[in-house]
Amino acid sequence: MSDLRDLYQEMILDHQRHPRNFCVLPDATRQQEGYNLLCGDRITLYLKLRDNRIENISFQGSGCAISTASASVMTESVKGKTIEEALALFEAFHELVTGQVSPGAGRGPRPSLGKLAVFSGVREFPVRVKCATLAWHTLRAALEGRQETVSTE
């Protein structure tokens, strides 16, 4: 069971039961849908962008513990960050959960992961990487202004 506890750390279970920023953002400037075909997880991300900065962010949707907690912690982690900082954080997070440097990753210093480090156990569960990254792929699409629904398949 120790492997399982590495995956489902208490903070993850807490965020799953009490997701933060779990609401509709009435003054959102961007809204983005994300969908994991494999398990049916759905997320809607709301962003309020101002001067290249994520002033506010929230999400709605349904999913497994990993995807819900990941979305919740993500909203806390990127709030107040610039678009570039948020994208750099995604790269660092992606490396954390896959154990691989993403192609096209910048060469600059990695931003500090902070709370996101709680997802390090995902690396040992390759089939769950998509759960952990659904919210992030959705965020990237929102920041890049893409309209279509994001799919992690």
Binding residues for other proteins (CB under 8 A): 1, 3-4, 7-8, 13, 38-42, 62-66, 125, 128, 131
User: How far apart are CB 90 and other proteins at their closest, in Å?
Assistant: 22
CA–CA distance, 82 with 63 (Å, rounded to integer): 27
Of 21 and 67, nearer to other proteins (C-beta) is: 67
User: How far apart are CB 102 and other proteins at their closest, in Å?
Assistant: 24
Of 13 and 23, nearer to other proteins (C-beta) is: 13
User: How far apart are CB 65 and other proteins at their closest, in Å?
Assistant: 5
Of 87 and 125, nearer to other proteins (C-beta) is: 125
> For the sheet containing 150-151, what is the strand order?
53-62, 41-50, 30-36, 150-151
Question: What count of other Cβ atoms lies within 10 Å of the Cβ of residue 27?
Answer: 8
CA–CA distance, 32 with 81 (Å, rounded to integer): 18
- Asked if residue 151 lies in contact with residue 141, where contact means CB atoms within 8 angstroms, the answer is no
